[in-house]
Amino acid sequence: MHVGDFLVDTAEVDLAWLEIVGPCYARPGWEPAPLTFDSWMEQVRVMRAEPGHARVLIFTATVLSLELELMADRVVGQIVPPGPGEVVVEAPDGGSFRIEADDMGFFDFEGMPRGQVRLRCETAAGRLVTDWVGL
| Per-residue model confidence as pLDDT tens digits over 79-126 | 999 999 999 999 999 999 999 999 999 999 887 777 899 999 999 999
Average pLDDT taken over every residue of the chain: 81
pLDDT higher than threshold 70 for residue 45: no
Q: What's the pLDDT score for residue 44?
A: 58
- Return the domain boundaries, the chain: 1-28, 34-134
Provide the pLDDT confidence category of residue 27 given band limits of 50, 70 and 90. Answer: low
- Assigned fold of 34-134: Immunoglobulin-like (2.60.40)
Asked if residues 29 and 42 have their Cβ atoms less than 8 Å apart, the reply is no
Provide the pLDDT confidence category of residue 17 given band limits of 50, 70 and 90. Answer: very low
